[in-house]
Each structure stands twice: as C-alpha cells, then as structure tokens.
Amino acid sequence: MDQRLQDLLQLLELERLELNLFRGESRDIGSPQVFGGQVLGQALSAAAATVDGRVVHSLHAYFLRRGDFKAPIVYEVDRSLDGHSFSNRRVVAIQHGQQIFNMTASFQVAESGFEHQILMPEVPAPESLPASDSPPAEVLAQLPERVRRFFELPRPFEFRMVRPIEYLRPRREAPAREIWFRAVGPLPDDEMLHRRLLAYVSDFFLLDTATLPHGTSLLRPTLVMASIDHAMWFHRTLRVDDWLLYAMDSPSASGARGFARASVFARDGRLIASAAQEGLVRSKGVS
C-alpha cells in the first residue's frame, strides 16, 4: 500500500482507553490548525467502534474550537440508541480539557427500498484533465510560505479540477465547482473504511465554493475562513480508490457565513453521498 495511505489509515485508527473512550493522534498537513477532515474521520472511527453489523448513513458535526495538531484528541462516545434497524451515536472530541468538536452519527442495517437519484453533471473524464494536487511550479513559487507548505506536503488523495483554480488572480465566477478525486492507491474491501475516508476528504474545497462569486480566496491575508458545521449522507456503496466526482455549489452567503453543498458521484454515475457545510467567511476588521 502507498505510504501516504498507510499514514492516513494509521491516523484514523484510535487507541481505546475505555469502553466508550478513545484517543487519536493529530497530524500537521500544513494548515494552521488540525484539519477538519481528520477530526471527522477519527470521530466516525470512534462511533463505528461501538456499533456492530451496521454502517453509517449520516453524520452531523460542529467544529467548536481550533484543534492543536501538536496534541492528541480524546473522543468520548455516547451510545444514544441501538434499535431494531438503526443505531445512533454522539461523539465529543476533547483537547486540552475543552470540547473542540461534537458529532451525531446514525448507523443502519442493510435494507432495500425505493431507488431514485439526480443525474451526474456532464464533465470531462478525469484522465483528460491535468493533475491538480498542487499549483504549477511558477505559481507555487509566488505563494506565501504558509500556503506553499500546505501544497508541498504529501497527500493521500489526488485531485483533478474540471476548471483550473486561479490562485493568484481569483476572478468572480458562478458559485459552483466540480473536482474529481481518488485515493493514491488501492484499499481493502471495507465499506466502513471507505466511508470514513470519504468523510476525511470531503472537507477539502467545499467551503471555498462560497468565495467564488466574490473574487477572493484564502490566499488573501484579509480573508478569514473556518468551518462551523459539516453534514454528510451516505446513499450507496462506494470506493474512494476509484475516481469520484465532487460536484459543489454555494446557494448563499450572508451574515459573515458561507453555505455550500455537494453531491458525490461514482465514476459510473451513481450518487453515493451528499454533503453540506456552513462556515465563517469574514474580512478582517469586520465584526
């Protein structure tokens, strides 16, 4: 297995301290705080460790405080419900004695029922698009050191942008973006593992969509962005080691908050998951 994936899988494996208490390590990916996808994935790992024979179908999470990537995170699981078909878990993440995150997740036994879905957007195939894991070298050299470091660290996922991102001169455009992504190597046949990894990678790019109509980006020192909440619904079986299309749009921004939502499609057109996120989007000096 690719070393980058091995490192990510190790990051999502937690140490069990008590029946419902877990501890996870943190990782520096070049961002100023713990990456939100890490906390999502680890919290989902903690919840799943208390559920047998069911896979997660939805989660709803709040980011309360910035996480410190230099310190471990403790996850406390509350077994809210174990019903005939569904199990519900509430997870609280604690660091330095304070809650930094909480999440509720619901798990379900496999069942069949009605089937329908929206169509996948018509976009170029990922093989026809250039790799987008990092800006071109000439652009990377002009980025601030904090941003350049984020792109230079190895990532366990590769990305292909349907439309290139203008890092240095962002332009005003419609609040929508499509990105292909997949893990950098093959993974085991474990549905819960693939759902945990999708939760991890779903925190990339989503909130950025809310900045597109305003011609700005995180590279602007006056822009402050931070995730407030994150929700996901898992509709069908999935594999993150095959190409997935992340089709995002931002219906609204107001009150110093941006809202974005996304559909995740498998290569064959199946809608496998949906996501939504609201976050702080504020210019410095504006209360």
Tell me the catalytic residues: 203, 227, 277
Q: Return the structure tokens found at 204.
A: 């990339």
Contacts of 110 (CB under 8 A, 6+ apart): 55
Residue among 226, 216, 157, 208 at smallest CA distance from 187: 157
Residue among 69, 91, 116 at smallest CA distance from 21: 91
Instruction: Specify the residue for token string 């878990």.
Output: 89
CA 255, CA 261: separation in Å to the nearest integer? Answer: 18
CA angle 196, 198, 199 (to 5 degrees): 65
Contacts of 184 (CB under 8 A, 6+ apart): 2, 4, 5, 155, 156, 157, 158
The bridge status of strand 55-63 relative to strand 73-82 is unpaired
Q: Half-sphere exposure (CA, 13 Å, Cβ side) for 234?
A: 27
- As a 3-state breakdown, the chain gives helix, strand, coil percent values, each rounded to 5, of 20, 35, 45
Q: Half-sphere exposure (CA, 13 Å, Cβ side) for 232?
A: 28
Contacts of 166 (CB under 8 A, 6+ apart): none
